[in-house]
Structure 1
Amino acid sequence: MSPTATPATVVTAPGPATAGATAPTGRDPFFDNAKYLAIVLVALGHAWQPLTYTSRTATALYYTVYAFHMPAFILISGYFSRSFDLSPAKVKRLVTGVVVPYVVFEVAYTYFQHWAEDDAPPESISLTNPWYLNWFLAALFVWRLTTPIWKAIRWPVPVALVISVLAAVSPDIGSDFDLQRVLQFLPFFVIGLHLERHHFDLVRRRWVRIAAVPVFAAVIAVNYWPPPQLNTEWFFHNDSAQGLHEPAWTAPVALLALFACAAVLTACFLAWVPRRRMWFTALGGGTLYGFLLHGFLIKLSRWWEWYDAAEWIRRPVGGVVVTVLAIGMMTVLCTAPVRRVFRCVVEPRMDWAFRTSAK
């Protein structure tokens, strides 16, 4: 599906929480609302996936969410990464907010899988091959480090698009740090780096909010009745054209089409995000907690076959129940009590590990 760890004053999506149960003064409710709603979409996408085998409605909703939820996360992450440089303080935040959670959860996920699957042999820990959700932290680390480059060159977005397409025709990139996703999603981060606050206000116009309704309806309809030539694996951006058994020339066509679709859907999504403080606004500061922690429950649902526990789960009423449970799960995981418990591994202070100049 959030997905990022940043300081409380430099929020990304998904980003770590700030201390306290309410959004602190000075935070823009719009972005906290957007992050919470987007992280809920991540949970829904993961929760709906097992239902896609028996429900066309779940399939349509699933692929519609996957068409834009990560681009929206990444764009907002880029927007709040505009001030990143290689200063000691920013490097410290990159280490404590991205690198440390990456290492901790890479180890935790590996041992959790061994515990959950009793008959499975223990997997070796690989810090270069992100496990499940950890790919986003690996990507954010790379994107943040390259931020000075994208702020310095003359045509950053076209260059990022070219790199994205080249990645999609390069089957030998390998799985290290999930570089296919890192490079294919790169343009959205670069766009975010060059946005200003007034650009987000443009999508708040009334006609955009109204137009968003038929746009989403059209995308859902296409995913409900997909054309036979549509390869839905492109939505995940985790393989090359050759790896998807497609000719190389399809890469620029597919990526540019998905890029345009994601950009439009992201604009439509942001048009619907409330600008005022809502009951869930404070939860927007804890989306990284929800993002990383919900992976344990999602994987348990697969390994322990929760979706096969009863026939009604794969019926329409089951889809409604799964949807409600996914929203509730993500909401709870973003709350202040959960953040207090896991702050030591999601956004540790670690002043002891840095020189005084890094503070």
Structure 2
Amino acid sequence: MSAPEPLPVTPPPPKERVAYLDNARYWVMLLVVIGHSLTSFTDMDSARGVYVWIYSFHMPFFILISGYTARHYMGEPRQVRRIVSTLVVPYLIIETSMQLISRHYTDKPDPLMILSPQWLAWFMAALFVWRLTTPIWRALKYPIATSIVISLLVGLIEVPNVLALPKILGFLPFYVVGLHMSRERFERLASPRIRAASVGLLGSALLICYVYSKNWETDWLLWKQRYDEEPLGATAIEGMTQRAELLAVGFILTFAALSLVPRQRSWTTALGGRTFYCYLLHGYIIVLLQLEFEVFTRIDRFGVGAVIGSSLVAVCVANLLMTKPVAMLFRPVFEPRLTWLFKVPSPPTPAPEQPAERRSGAT
């Protein structure tokens, strides 16, 4: 009996992007850019309320989605190459350039502290650390409870800002919960009752922030200081209670926002697939507008008009930075192939050929 011809080896089909996730990325990226554009106006009640509302859930939202998309990370060579090219390289570019820009405008010869991210690059560092520890969170018996305990306790001790560790550990529960989400859980959020409740929750939260945020210390929303450190100045119990409240609010508003994200493909889907470039580039625009032209300082006197105008411009800039030409222009910079750095993957070893009679099932 002649041996059967081996089946042709075909590469796996490319992964199809999920419209729901890209839509979610689009809307949360708008919140990120708007929030950063309002940072200079937090002394105004009108801006402070919106700022606090955005910061209470926009990063938890982003982090939970990031955890969900990283749930299959196992440390394979292909995955390692990916995180080096899309996380390590952008981190080094953003952090180095931002510190050099700051040095230029402040005329302070501060040494470059590349491992101590000051602004945008912290999220790249966080994704890198969280991704590497993903197998641990998948192996633990009580991963979510463990991550919450870590988040509550980290504010009690001095943790150096190496790779933004205080923020990494503080936001950790959102990433771990994202790892344990499933498509079915996301689908349950789309029920009409949950959506109706979500509109009420998000609207009520915005109203509460608008009315009461003038008495709140916004540094709690940065998740990086010790509880007893100024300007927080809290006892251990007060600090852990406040952190627990922030975790609860972050989860509630995140799931409320996720329930309202459209499931079907639309114009936001394509833009949402390119939020990576918007996140990395919008910081340069904000920094240069303030340091070079002092735009935010100049328009501060217009009050609510400045807040509305900055928000509208932020939306326009965010949409522009999520367009295809921007992605094509900056992909070689922020997502280099790095073929010179990594080994060429070895082809799979073929299985040893078996005798014809064994293949045919003869004994």
Q: TM-score range by the shorter chain?
A: 0.7 to 0.9
Aligned to 2:84: 95
Q: Which residue among 30, 37, 53 is the counterpart of 1:40?
A: 30
Q: How many residues align?
A: 332
Amino acid aligned to 2:194: V
Q: Deviation per CA, 1:245-301, whole angstroms, max 9, x where unpaired?
A: 111112221111111111110111111111111112111111111111111111123
Amino acid aligned to 2:171: F
Q: Which moved more, 1:204-213 or 1:104-113?
A: 104-113
Aligned to 1:20: none
- TM-score (ref. length: structure 2): 0.87
Q: Percent identity?
A: 35
Aligned to 1:13: none
Aligned to 2:125: 138
Q: How does 1:110-259 map to 2 (within 5 A)?
A: 110-115=99-104, 117=105, 120-170=107-157, 172-226=158-212, 230-243=216-229, 244-259=232-247
Is the alpha carbon distance of 1:104 and 1:167 closer, same or farther for their aligned partners in structure 2, counting shifts above 3 Å? same
- TM-score (ref. length: structure 1): 0.87
Aligned to 1:104: 93
3-state SS, counterpart of residue 225 of structure 1: helix
**Paired residues of 1:287 and 1:334 also in contact (CA < 8 A):** yes
Q: How far, CA to CA, are the matches of 2:73 and 2:63 in structure 1?
A: 15
Q: How far, CA to CA, are the matches of 1:120 and 1:191 in structure 2?
A: 43
1:107: how far off?
A: 1.7
Aligned to 1:78: 67
Q: Does 1:31 align with 2:21?
A: yes
Aligned to 2:42: 52
3-state SS, counterpart of residue 249 of structure 2: helix
Q: Which moved more, 1:41-50 or 1:65-74?
A: 41-50
**Paired residues of 1:36 and 1:287 also in contact (CA < 8 A):** yes
Q: How far, CA to CA, are the matches of 1:32 and 1:228 in structure 2?
A: 34
Q: Deviation per CA, 1:102-153, whole angstroms, max 9, x where unpaired?
A: 11112221223344x1x51344222210131000011111101110100001
**Paired residues of 1:36 and 1:283 also in contact (CA < 8 A):** yes
Unpaired stretches in structure 2, ≥5 consecutive residues: 1-11, 348-363
Q: Which has the larger radius of gyration?
A: 2
Q: How far, CA to CA, are the matches of 2:299 and 2:308 in structure 1?
A: 15
Aligned to 1:287: 275
Amino acid aligned to 1:106: E
Is the alpha carbon distance of 1:228 and 1:126 closer, same or farther for their aligned partners in structure 2, counting shifts above 3 Å? closer
